[in-house]
Chain A
Amino acid sequence: DVKVTQSSRYLVKRTGEKVFLECVQDMDHENMFWYRQDPGLGLRLIYFSYDVKMKEKGDIPEGYSVSREKKERFSLILESASTNQTSMYLCASSFEGRSTDTQYFGPGTRLTVL
């Protein structure tokens, strides 16, 4: 079974802190994604990566950056956390390219910024 793990289920940070969210997948997937999930807004794509050291902006990249130094690991970075970044963050991965391929999700990290 594909396994996508996220470093924390719950995280509480203060405004202005630098925050790292880690995601690891064990299926050698080329693509990895970071979403945030908010009530009434569904899932919104923050960033995705289709290869090591490659990244593409999603729909809401402002205030975030990402890092992919190894194929299995994709990190989301909040350079200076703000209260409007309080949300559920979901990581996902998939094989390269084909539109039929499923995305596999991690359990999510619920981040609260005070």
Chain B
Amino acid sequence: AQSVTQPDIHITVSEGASLELRCNYSYGATPYLFWYVQSPGQGLQLLLKYFSGDTLVQGIKGFEAEFKRSQSSFNLRKPSVHWSDAAEYFCAVGSTGGFKTIFGAGTRLFVKA
């Protein structure tokens, strides 16, 4: 069965520190992978997506994610976190046909000064 696991319910990092949010998926075919961010004042936004090609994907707001087929992972990274990055982050996996997706439960990021 298709599924997405985000092992960390919440993570706290210091402003300026690096960030890695974990995502593991279970999918029978070549997956389409997504990361979304949901901020209280801004709603839901697509950060980046992987369909094919280069396994290191660049997204908006300085985020990147790396697809590792051998580990069934698509971890999200940012080299230096800003206080405005505090939000909930969702990983999702989908099939061909666009954005029909299965979402993980989310990881809430807290940023401390």
| A-B interaction | no
